[in-house]
Amino acid sequence: MIGTFVNVGTIIVGSLIGGLFKKIISERINEALFTAMGLAAFGLGINAVVQNMPNSQYPVLFIVSLALGGAVGTLLQLQERVDRVTSKKGNGDARLGEGIVTGCLLFCIGTLSILGPVQSALYQDHTFLFTNATLDLVTAMALATTYGVGMCLAAVVLFCWQGGIYALTLLLGNFITDTMMCELSIVGGFLIAMSGIGILGLKDCRTVNFLPALIVPPVWCVIAAHLL
C-alpha cells in the first residue's frame, strides 16, 4: 500500500502548506477563493457526468442511487453528524465540513484513485497512485487555502477508501469493471456538482446525506454480473 501512503502524505503536506497561506490572505480574497472552489467543483462534477453518461449501461441507475442514497443519508442524519464534528462558532469553521466533503469527493471519486489500489494490489504497480498523489497535492493546497489546515482530515477518508479497495482486490481479484467505474463516476459527478452548488451558496444541497448513493452502483453491478 505504499502508493496509498504516499497519496495520504501529499494531501497532508498540501493541506499544511495551504493552511499557512490562508493565514496571510485577506477576507475579500478568501471569499474570491470560495467562489473559485465552488465553480471548479461544479464544473468538474458536470464534466464527469457528461463524459460518462453516454457510456452508461443502466441509464436510470444514477436516479435510483441519488434517491435511495439521499433517503438513507437523511434517515441516518449524516449531515447533522458531520456538522457536529466539524462546526464551531466561527463561520470559517462552519465551512470546514463543506470543504472536507468536497475534498473527499475530489480525492476519492476518480479513475486514478479507484483503479490505483487495484493495480497496486494485483501487480505491485503504484504508477496510478503516485500520479494521483501529485494531483491531490495541488488540490489539497488549493482547498486548504480556502478552508484551512483542517483539510488534513480528508486524508483519513482517502486512506480508508483506497485501503478498502486494496483489501477487496486482494480478496476478490479485479472486481472493478468498466461498467462499475462508469456508473460510479456519474453518481460521483453529481455529488461533486452538488458540493459546488453549496459552496457557491446557491442552495444547501446537504451533500453528506447523499454519500450513501456511492454504494448503490457497485452493489448493483455486482448483482447484475451474477444474476442478470
pLDDT tens for 128-176 read: 999 999 989 989 998 898 888 989 999 999 999 999 999 999 998 878 8
179, 221 contact by CB (below 8 A): yes
**The pLDDT value given to residue 90:** 42
The Cα 144–Cα 149 span in angstroms is 6
112-116 LR contacts (CB < 8 Å, sep 24+): 113/7, 113/158, 113/161, 113/162, 114/165, 114/176, 114/181, 114/184, 115/176, 115/181, 116/3, 116/4, 116/7, 116/162
Backbone φ and ψ of 90, nearest 5°: -70, 145
pLDDT of res. 86: 64
pLDDT (0 to 100) of residue 89: 43
- Tell me the C-alpha distance between 61 and 41, whole Å: 22
Cell of 151: 483539510
pLDDT at position 92: 47
Residues of the chain with pLDDT under 70: 86-94, 228
- Cβ count within 10 A of residue 164: 11
Tell me the Cα Rg of the chain: 17
